[in-house]
């Protein structure tokens, strides 16, 4: 805005805007319908979409605090924990990942990271960036660690935190967790577990399995839009977190403030820290309500049944499943070795164009990744995915990948 001074004060002149309104913004929003059968996000059920479309209320209104309290109870059920320090991050699963590391670990402290896919690699990089001494346990994607291997590394490196991915979606592996928490505590180490791809699809019991920090994402088996991330801290984790010598590197993710925003710090009033994603919290609450109505055990059983139906169909097509041991396969995300001679990008492009179905390639290994999670998890969708794959294998020309 141009302005000039006169004896009567400052007068604002005509606008001096030089950038015109972009043509794209003068057209209505267009977004196609697709069957999201990749590793996430998954399709959102109408009930959750409707919840997210409700009128906004203030992020500091008492009604909003009531909804946040509901979300906390829903997460406690989904995680099977009685932890008071339970909340949802204002951001995707990576936000919860960073929140855990930034609040628990101080610069110079030792961290042990199990890497058998992309998520361990991410955690190792984040910990390194914030000045931790990072030690790694490494297997090729799809490999898993025995409790003896984990204990040996804990004894050697004496970390304050050990990270393990429960649902490694880049390889399609669900990792055994039994006994890992007990082993960590034997060495005065906290256990951090990523359940973004597995929560609601594969059994996980935070308190019974002695997990200290557990987080997930909203957009997988929970079927809410991306952008919120449930997380919970044990009493043991809270003791470490709230007795730091240094402040966490992130103000936004500082649990001193977030614990108050979520009403978890015992103080009578919640004070402003940041503006939470109100519509995202509405949707998350509804998705957690659906899980509670369904029942965790029913959800786990349903995902397993549909996955086994799907796995048989893939084998009937002559395809090879990447994870050989059925007990280690992630029910929510199935990984398939690319058939010899096929270009995986051509297969995915053909399926998207002719079937409006999204599958994904591998984050590392040469794989197809197909997700049937929550709302998308049924035999009709599995049959649709199989038919699309069969069609693509017939129609796509053989070429060098």
Measured CA to CA, the distance from residue 103 to residue 246 in angstroms comes to 10
93-104 vs 118-129: helix crossing angle, rounded to 10: 40
Measured CA to CA, the distance from residue 217 to residue 119 in angstroms comes to 13
Measured CA to CA, the distance from residue 245 to residue 262 in angstroms comes to 24
Element spanning 5, H or E? strand 3-6
CB 168 within 8 A of CB 119: yes
Query: 324 burial class (0-12, 13-18, 19+ CB within 10 angstroms)?
Result: exposed
Measured CA to CA, the distance from residue 159 to residue 178 in angstroms comes to 20
* 3-class DSSP state of 230: strand
CB 217 within 8 A of CB 264: no
**Is residue 369 a known part of a binding site?**
yes
Q: Tell me which DSSP letter residue 329 carries.
A: B
Quick one: tokens of 252? 């936004």
Across 227-267, the runs of DSSP E, i.e. the strands, are 229-233
Q: What is the DSSP string of 180-210?
A: HHHHHHHTT-EEEEE-TTTTTTS---TTTTT
* 3-class DSSP state of 158: coil
Which parts are annotated binding residues? 369
Which parts are annotated binding residues for substrate? 369
């Amino acid at each position: 805005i141009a302005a000039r001074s006169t004896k009567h004060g400052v007068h604002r002149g005509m606008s001096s805007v030089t950038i015109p309104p972009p043509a794209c913004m003068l057209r209505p929003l267009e977004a196609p319908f697709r069957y999201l059968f990749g590793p996430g996000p998954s399709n959102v059920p109408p009930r959750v979409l409707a919840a997210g479309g409700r009128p906004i209320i203030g992020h500091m209104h008492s009604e909003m605090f009531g909804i946040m309290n509901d979300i906390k109870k829903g997460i406690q059920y989904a995680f099977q924990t009685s932890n008071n320090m339970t909340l949802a991050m204002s951001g995707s699963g990576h936000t919860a990942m960073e929140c855990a590391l930034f609040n628990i670990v101080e610069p110079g402290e030792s961290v042990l990271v199990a890497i058998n896919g992309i998520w361990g690699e991410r955690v190792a990089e984040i910990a390194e960036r914030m000045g931790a001494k990072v030690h790694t346990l490494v297997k090729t994607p799809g490999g898993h660690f025995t409790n003896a291997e984990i204990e040996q590394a804990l004894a050697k490196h004496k970390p304050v935190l050990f990270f393990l991915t429960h649902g490694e979606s880049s390889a399609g592996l669900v990792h055994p967790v039994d006994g890992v928490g007990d082993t960590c505590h034997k060495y005065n180490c906290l256990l951090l577990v990523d359940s973004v791809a597995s929560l609601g699809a594969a059994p996980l019991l935070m308190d019974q399995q002695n997990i200290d920090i557990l987080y997930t994402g909203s957009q997988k088996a929970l079927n809410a839009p991306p952008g919120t991330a449930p997380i919970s801290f044990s009493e043991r984790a809270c003791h470490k977190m709230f007795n730091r010598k240094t402040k966490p590197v992130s103000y936004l993710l500082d649990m001193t403030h977030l614990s108050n925003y979520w009403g978890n710090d015992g103080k009578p009033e919640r004070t402003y820290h940041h503006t939470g994603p109100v519509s995202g919290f509405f949707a998350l609450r509804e998705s957690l309500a659906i899980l509670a109505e369904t029942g965790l055990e029913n959800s786990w059983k349903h995902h397993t049944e549909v996955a086994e139906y799907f796995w048989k169909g893939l084998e009937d097509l002559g395809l090879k499943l990447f994870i050989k041991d059925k007990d280690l396969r992630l029910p929510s995300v199935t990984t398939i070795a690319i058939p010899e001679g096929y270009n995986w990008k051509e297969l995915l492009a053909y399926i998207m164009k002719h079937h409006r179905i999204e599958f994904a390639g591998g984050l590392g290994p040469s794989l197809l990744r197909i997700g049937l999670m929550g709302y998308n998890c049924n035999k009709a969708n599995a049959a649709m995915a199989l038919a699309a794959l069969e069609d693509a294998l017939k129609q796509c020309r053989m070429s060098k990948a």
